[in-house]
Amino acid sequence: MTKVPTAKLRNIALVGHGGAGKTTLAEAMLYVSGGIDRLGKVEEGTTTMDYDSEEVKRTVSINASVAPCFWREHKINLIDTPGYFDFVGEVSSSLRVADISLIVVDALSGVQVGTEKVSAYADDFRLPKAIVVSKIDRENANFTKVIEEIREYFGPQAVPVQIPNGQAEQFNGIIDLLRLETVVSQRNQVKREPVNITPEITTYRDLLIEGVASTDDALMEKYFDGQELTTPEIINALKSGLLTGSLTPIFFACGTNPSGTPALLDAIVNYFPSPADIGGIKALQNNSEIILTPDSNGPITAFVFKTMADPYVGKLSLFRVYSGTLRSDSYVYNTAREKEERLGQLMLVYGKDLKPVAELEAGDIGAVTKLQETVTGDTLTEKDKKISLPLIQFPKPVLSMAVEPKTKGDEDKISIGLHRLVEEDPTLAIKKSTETGQLLISGMGDLHLEVIGSRLKNKFGTEIELSVPRVAYRETIRGATKIEGKHKKQSGGRGQYGHVWIEIEPLANDQRFEFVDKIFGGAVPKQYIPAVEKGILEVLDEGVLAGYPITGVRVTLVDGSYHSVDSSEMAFKIAASMAFKKGFMDARPILLEPILKAAISVPDEYMGDVIGDLNKKRGKILGMEPQSNYQLINALVPQSEMFRYAIDLRSISQARGSFSVEFDHYEEVPQVQAEQIIAAAKEKEAAS
C-alpha cells in the first residue's frame, strides 16, 4: 500500500442527527473511491460501517466505525458516528481525533436537534465544521428550503459551495458554484462540463463570494469595489475560512445515488484541512506543557481513542498517530500506566475488516491488537520522552439501573463481562451500592443499557434483568421514650436472663448513633454492657419500621438487673434489641429519603414544562440562571423521582436538555408516600 504523507491525509468525523444518512454516505464514498465493490444498505445490514450484530438488528449506528477512503492520491480517514444520543461517547472519542466535523443534514428534515448538538460538540473540540446535505434524491426534497434553514441556524457564515443539479427523482450530480461546472459521475469516472448560468445559480454563487470575501479585509475591499475575485483567491479564502471557523461550507451528496459523491470527495481533498494544516496539539512532557507538531520524524506519540473486544482477534485498540512514525513489531511506552507495550502488526480498519500495514505516519489512524495494559485515553510514546496527550472528556452517565442475573450463579460472569464492556465504553459505569447491596449499571439512556444487556448475552453468554434501583431510605425518630426489655427463659438446666431499661431520643446532629452508659451500682454488670450496645447496633442495620437502616438516635442505658447464674452476653443482647424495637415504634418513627440537588439546563421555551414536571416530582425550585438561550434550573428533588429523569427530560425538551445531580441531604418522606413504602416492605416480608 502506497505511503501517504501527512499533508495528504484527511481525518473526517461524519456526525449528525440519527437517521440523517451518515452511514449510507460513508458507504457511497467508499464505493465511489473503489474501496468496496458494491453499495451496502443499512436496512439490509450490509454496510461497511454498521457491522455489529446490534447495529444490524436495530438498523442504527451504535459504534463509531473507521474506514480509509483513497481519492486523488489522498487518504481520507472516515469516522462514522452514531446519531442517537445514547451513544454520544462514540461521538466524543471520534471528534477528539478528527480534524474536521462533517455534519450530515437530512434534506427532508433539515436542521434537527442532533444537528444542533453535534455542532456544539464540534465547538467544544474547536473543530472546523462543514455541512453535507443528504437524501436530496428523495421525493419532496427542497434544497432551497434546507439551505435557508441551515443559514438560519448556523448564520451567514454557512455558504453553499455546491447545489444539486436537479432534486428528488431528477437529481443528477452537482453544480460547482466555485468553478461554475456541472459534475456528474458514476464511481471514479467524473464528467465536468460548463454550466448554463441561471438566476438561481447566480444567487447562490453570490452567497459564496460574499461569505468568502468576509474572511479577509483585502478581499472584502475588492468585493465592495465591484472587482471579480479570482478562483485561486476564492479557494484560498475558503480553505482558511474553514480552518479558522469563519466559514461553514455547504455541500450536497446522496448515499443512495452516488452521482454527486465524487464532487464531495474532490471538495474534501481540495478544501478540507490536513493534520499539517491543523498544526500542533498541546501535550505534557515530564509535567511541562509542549506543542506536539504532526512531524513524521518527531517523537513517536499515538493516542488510543477507542477499545473494542473483537471476537476473532481479541482486544483491538484504535489510535491516531500525532507525531513520529509508528511501526509494526516495535515497542512503545504507555505514559498513563507507566508500562512498556509491544506493538504487533499494525492494521488499517475497514469497518470490521483489518488490513496489515507496515507503518503509520503522523496524522494517520490505525489499530493494533492485544495490548495488555492500554485502554481508551492512553498515550503511547517513547520511554525516554514520556509524552501525555489530553484525555477525552466523556459525558457522565445519566441513567442507572439495578442488575440481576436471569440465572442464579451468573454473578461472576456478569461482573467480568461488565468490566470488559466498561473498557470498551467509557460512558458506561458499574458499582456496587453500599446502601442497598445492588449492582448498579449506569449509562446514557435506556437504549444504551438495553444494548449492553444484549452484548453481555452475545459476548459472554449471560443474561441480565434490569430494574429501577432501590432507594436508600433511612429510619429515624422524632420523639423520645423510656422502655424496658427483659429476656427470661427457663427450660431445664441453665436459663437465660437479661433485663435493661433504656431511653431513646433523637440526635440533634448528623450522627448515626450514640450509646450512653448511665448504669450505677452494678445494676447491669460491666461485662454485659458491650452486649447491650451490640444488640442495638444489629437492629440499626435491620431497621424496624420498613427494614431500612436507622440513623440519628441516642440510646442511654439507665437501669436493669441480672441473675448471677442465668445472665449472659446473649441474654442482654436479646433484651436490648427487644427494648429498642419496641421503644423505636413508640418514639414517633419516620422514614427519611435521599434528596438530590439537580442542575437542569434547558432552552427557554421548555422551562415552564420542566418546572411543572419537577413540581409533580415533589421538587423544590431553588432558582434559575440565564445562560444564553438556555436556563439553568437548580432544584432539590427526591432521589426516588429521578431514576428515569434522563428519559423524562429528553421527552419534555425534545432532547435539548441536560442535567446533573448530586446527593444533598436526607428529608422526611411525606406521610402518603411513607405509608406506601411501609406497606410494600411488609408485603415483601410476608411473601418471603
pLDDT (average), residues 70-77:
95
Asked if residue 199 belongs to a domain, the reply is yes
**Distance from C-alpha of 178 to C-alpha of 194, rounded to nearest angstrom:** 12
Beta carbons of 470 and 480 less than 8 angstroms apart: no
pLDDT digits (tens, 9 = 90+) for 165-197: 988 888 888 999 999 999 887 666 778 889 899
Same domain, residue pair 45 and 72: yes
Three cell numbers written together for 666: 436526607
Write phi, then psi, for 457 (nearest 5 degrees). -70, -45
- DSSP symbols for 567-595: B-HHHHHHHHHHHHHHHHHHS-EEEEEEE
pLDDT (average), residues 327-338:
95
**Distance from C-alpha of 354 to C-alpha of 346, rounded to nearest angstrom:** 9
Q: What is the mean pLDDT of the chain?
A: 93
Q: Which residue, 263, 359, 294, is CA-closest to 2? A: 359
pLDDT (average), residues 75-80:
98
Residue type, 60: V
**pLDDT interval class at 668 (50, 70, 90):** very high
Helix (H, G, I), strand (E, B) or coil at 122: helix
Q: Which residue, 87, 99, 107, is CA-closest to 130? A: 99
Q: What percentage of residues in the chain have a pLDDT greater than 90?
A: 80
Q: Which parts of 125-187 are beta strand (E)?
A: 129-134, 158-160, 162-164, 174-176, 181-186
Please give the pLDDT value at position 493.
66
Q: Which residue has the cell 449510507?
A: 24
Note the maximum CA span of the chain.
117
Asked if residue 678 belongs to a domain, the reply is no
DSSP structure class, residue 638: E
Helix (H, G, I), strand (E, B) or coil at 292: strand
Asked if residue 539 belongs to a domain, the reply is yes
Beta carbons of 299 and 323 less than 8 angstroms apart: yes
Beta carbons of 291 and 307 less than 8 angstroms apart: no
Long-range contacts of 186-193 (CB under 8 A, 24+ apart): 186/258, 186/259, 187/31, 187/32, 187/34, 187/258, 188/32, 188/33, 188/34, 188/262, 190/262, 190/263, 190/266
Same domain, residue pair 82 and 177: yes
Please give the pLDDT value at position 334.
96
Same domain, residue pair 117 and 210: yes
Asked if residue 394 belongs to a domain, the reply is no
**pLDDT interval class at 45 (50, 70, 90):** very high
Three cell numbers written together for 391: 484525555
- For residue 224, what are the contacts with CB-CB under 8 A and spacing of at least 6? none
Same domain, residue pair 346 and 404: no
DSSP structure class, residue 13: E
Beta carbons of 26 and 80 less than 8 angstroms apart: yes
Asked if residue 684 belongs to a domain, the reply is no
Residue span of the structural domain in which 315 resides: 281-388
Please give the pLDDT value at position 492.
64
Please give the pLDDT value at position 509.
73
Question: Order of strands, edge to edge, in the sheet holding 158-160?
Answer: 65-71, 74-80, 9-16, 100-106, 129-134, 248-252, 158-160
Same domain, residue pair 493 and 630: no
Please give the pLDDT value at position 311.
64
Write phi, then psi, for 605 (nearest 5 degrees). -70, -15
pLDDT (average), residues 187-212:
88
Structure-model confidence comparison of residues 600 and 308, the more confident one: 600
Same domain, residue pair 55 and 152: yes
Beta strands 248-252; 158-160: pairing state = parallel
- For residue 459, what are the contacts with CB-CB under 8 A and spacing of at least 6? 309, 311, 417, 420
Asked if residue 681 belongs to a domain, the reply is no
Helix (H, G, I), strand (E, B) or coil at 89: helix
**Distance from C-alpha of 106 to C-alpha of 29, rounded to nearest angstrom:** 17
Asked if residue 226 belongs to a domain, the reply is yes
467, 484, 507 — which closes off a domain? 467
- CATH number of the domain where residue 461 is located: 3.30.70.870
In 9-87, alpha helices (H): 22-32, 53-58
Same domain, residue pair 114 and 232: yes
Q: Which residue, 29, 27, 54, is CA-closest to 39? A: 27
pLDDT digits (tens, 9 = 90+) for 400-451: 999 999 888 888 889 888 988 998 899 999 999 888 889 999 999 999 999 9
Question: Which pTM value belongs to this model?
Answer: 0.89
Please give the torsion angle defined by the CA atoms of residues 266, 270, 273 and 277, in that order, rounded to the nearest 10 degrees. 150
Domain count, the chain: 5
Asked if residue 48 belongs to a domain, the reply is yes
CA distances from 578 to 263, 584, 589 (A): 84, 10, 16
Beta strands 481-489; 496-506: pairing state = antiparallel
Residue type, 114: G
Beta carbons of 356 and 346 less than 8 angstroms apart: yes
- CATH number of the domain where residue 150 is located: 3.40.50.300
Same domain, residue pair 426 and 482: no
**Distance from C-alpha of 317 to C-alpha of 332, rounded to nearest angstrom:** 14
pLDDT digits (tens, 9 = 90+) for 484-535: 999 998 766 678 999 999 999 999 777 899 999 999 888 999 999 999 999 9
Q: How far is CA 529 from the centre of its chain?
A: 53
Three cell numbers written together for 213: 470575501
pLDDT digits (tens, 9 = 90+) for 121-164: 999 999 999 999 999 989 888 999 999 999 999 999 999 999 99
Q: Which residue, 167, 182, 105, is CA-closest to 136? A: 167
Q: What angle do CA 366, 370, 376 make, to 5 degrees?
A: 60
Same domain, residue pair 490 and 343: no
**Helix/strand/coil percent split, the chain, to 5:** 30, 35, 35
**Distance from C-alpha of 361 to C-alpha of 326, rounded to nearest angstrom:** 6
Beta carbons of 430 and 422 less than 8 angstroms apart: yes
Please give the pLDDT value at position 470.
93
Beta strands 630-638; 620-627: pairing state = antiparallel
- For residue 210, what are the contacts with CB-CB under 8 A and spacing of at least 6? 156, 159, 223
Please give the pLDDT value at position 183.
86
Please give the pLDDT value at position 1.
52
556, 587, 618 — which closes off a domain? 587
Same domain, residue pair 24 and 142: yes
- CATH number of the domain where residue 572 is located: 3.30.230.10
- For residue 65, what are the contacts with CB-CB under 8 A and spacing of at least 6? 26, 48, 49, 50, 51, 79, 80, 349, 351
- CATH number of the domain where residue 304 is located: 2.40.30.10
**Distance from C-alpha of 464 to C-alpha of 480, rounded to nearest angstrom:** 46
pLDDT of 592 > 80? The answer is: yes
Same domain, residue pair 598 and 583: no
Same domain, residue pair 607 and 516: no
**Distance from C-alpha of 523 to C-alpha of 520, rounded to nearest angstrom:** 7
- For residue 128, what are the contacts with CB-CB under 8 A and spacing of at least 6? 99, 100, 101, 122, 242, 243, 244, 245, 272, 273
**pLDDT interval class at 688 (50, 70, 90):** low
**Distance from C-alpha of 225 to C-alpha of 240, rounded to nearest angstrom:** 22
Helix (H, G, I), strand (E, B) or coil at 285: strand
275, 310, 339 — which closes off a domain? 275
* Bridge partners, residue 281, by sequence: 292
- CATH number of the domain where residue 646 is located: 3.30.70.240
Residue 303: Cβ within 10 Å count:
24
pLDDT digits (tens, 9 = 90+) for 284-313: 998 899 999 999 999 999 999 999 876 677
